[in-house]
């Protein structure tokens, strides 16, 4: 029987859970180690609330038995402040948990606290720092969740993605981000922004932990049952807006592709339609239109408390006729059908998670351009650390599978993870 590490906060989710089940580690001991780490690293500013709550009685055999979890602060937690990253909702304490929070509690997990989010999980940054270099952004909108997992405050955290809010911060912070197929995890109790795009996702420090966590939140019968396996074929995607990819990011994608090729997996360039570039603008149009509608109460009652940036985004879409929005939604459905016909069973696509490493400065969270299309298309994405750039900050690549083929993407990502180290 292996000895426990000196700092339980650095254990993987599975190792910690198994140690708790075996009686070699107490859930309270793990929570205290995580809290001590988070408090010692308070300058990362990952948390709005840090208040470990014990797991429910009788859940020691659950998939998440005793594991402390970070919950993004647009997700309702009963008895714990949920402020949506906005002063409009300062002090708001929900009476009930969001569906995903109730699921994690029923699986034996414990809410460690609320992780910082950008304003309404949109564009305006929070003050969270990148754990690798606090002068750089951790990405957004799930800023605190990515930073907390990367910095060993918790082994797992929940995020959301409407454009690139799981995959991009995971890349910037050097952890695994998993955005499942749209609708896999119930969003009830999560502050809506874009009903046709909002997707709950997870952060972990390896792919199997991410699958374990997502399975528990989604209610799968066998949470986290992922076996690393190479895909049938890999296609490298150099779109949309590939001209924004930095040389070191391109090199990381090509190095990941070489791992597959070296194992005999067919690797080829994806031949995407010429108008694929239009998906970036299409996603943005739908997101901002739906966000303006979802935040009608906030715009009506407290417009002065919305950030200038968010108001600006809403103003640029204010005159969009509803017929044009309906046309955009129809185009979204058409693209989903077109892309589904292009990706074969057992095949995955490989691309960058972001244009490069985390940019310097905290005034923005980085460009989600390499994530927008896949969120629009409702396809599952797994973001993996893929070395570091010249700045010493992490780079990330993402594996994309057909909508609903999450198992293919997770298996290929777990296989690639082993070879990327």
Q: Which residues belong to the active site?
A: 72, 141, 165
User: Contact, 174 vs 387, CB < 8 A?
Assistant: no
CA distance 151 to 142: 14
CA distance 292 to 280: 18
Q: DSSP E strands: which ranges in 285-355?
A: 347-352
Q: Please name the residues in contact with 190: beta carbons below 8 A apart, sequence gap of 6 or more.
A: 74, 75, 76, 98, 100, 160, 198, 200
CB-based burial label for 91 (10 Å; 0-12, 13-18, 19+) = exposed
CA distance 139 to 147: 9
Distances (CA, A) of 274 to 96, 231, 279, 280, 351: 47, 26, 11, 13, 17
Assign 3-state DSSP to the chain and report helix, strand, coil percentages, each to 5.
40, 15, 45
- Sign of the four-CA dihedral 74, 72, 136, 198: negative
Report helix angle 27-40 to 13-21, nearest 10: 140
244: Cα separation from own chain's centroid: 22
User: Contact, 385 vs 353, CB < 8 A?
Assistant: no
Task: Read off φ and ψ for residue 376, nearest 5 degrees.
Answer: -60, -40
Question: Could you say which DSSP state residue 307 is in?
Answer: -
């Amino acid at each position: 029987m292996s000895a426990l590490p000196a700092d339980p906060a650095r254990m993987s989710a599975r190792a910690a859970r198994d140690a708790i089940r075996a009686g070699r580690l107490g859930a309270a001991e793990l929570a205290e180690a995580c809290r001590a780490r988070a408090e010692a690293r308070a300058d990362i500013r990952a948390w709005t609330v840090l208040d470990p709550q014990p797991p429910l009685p009788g859940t020691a055999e659950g998939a998440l038995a005793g594991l402390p979890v970070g919950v993004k602060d647009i997700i309702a937690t009963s008895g714990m402040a949920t402020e949506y990253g906005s002063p409009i909702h300062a002090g708001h304490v929900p009476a009930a948990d969001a569906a995903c929070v109730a699921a994690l509690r029923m699986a034996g997990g414990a809410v460690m606290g609320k992780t910082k989010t950008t304003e309404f999980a949109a564009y305006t940054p929070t003050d969270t720092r990148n754990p690798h270099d606090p002068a750089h952004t951790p990405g957004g909108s799930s800023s605190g969740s990515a930073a907390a997992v990367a910095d060993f405050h918790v082994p797992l955290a929940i995020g959301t993605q409407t454009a690139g809010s799981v995959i991009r911060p995971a890349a910037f912070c050097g952890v695994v981000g998993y955005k499942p197929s749209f609708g896999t995890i119930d969003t009830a109790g999560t502050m809506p922004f874009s009903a046709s795009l909002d997707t709950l996702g997870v952060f972990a420090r390896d792919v199997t932990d991410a699958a374990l966590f997502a399975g528990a939140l989604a209610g799968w019968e066998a949470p986290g049952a992922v076996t690393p396996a190479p895909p049938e074929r890999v296609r490298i995607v150099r779109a949309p807006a590939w001209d924004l990819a930095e040389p070191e990011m391109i090199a990381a994608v090509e190095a990941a592709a070489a791992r597959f090729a070296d194992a005999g997996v067919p690797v080829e360039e994806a031949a995407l339609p010429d108008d694929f570039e239009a998906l970036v603008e299409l996603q943005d149009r739908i997101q901002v239109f739906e966000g303006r509608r979802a935040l009608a109460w906030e715009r009506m009652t407290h417009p002065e408390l919305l950030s200038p940036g968010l108001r600006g985004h809403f103003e640029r879409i204010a005159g969009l006729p509803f017929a044009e929005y309906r046309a955009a939604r129809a185009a979204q459905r058409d693209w989903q059908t077109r892309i589904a016909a292009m990706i074969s069973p057992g095949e995955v696509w490989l691309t960058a998670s972001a244009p490069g490493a985390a940019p310097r400065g905290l005034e923005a969270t980085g460009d989600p351009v390499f994530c927008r299309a896949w969120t629009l298309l409702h396809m599952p994405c797994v973001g993996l650390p893929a070395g570091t750039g010249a700045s010493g900050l992490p780079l990330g690549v993402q594996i994309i599978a057909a909508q609903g083929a999450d198992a293919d993407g997770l298996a290929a990502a777990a296989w690639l993870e082993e070879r990327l180290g």
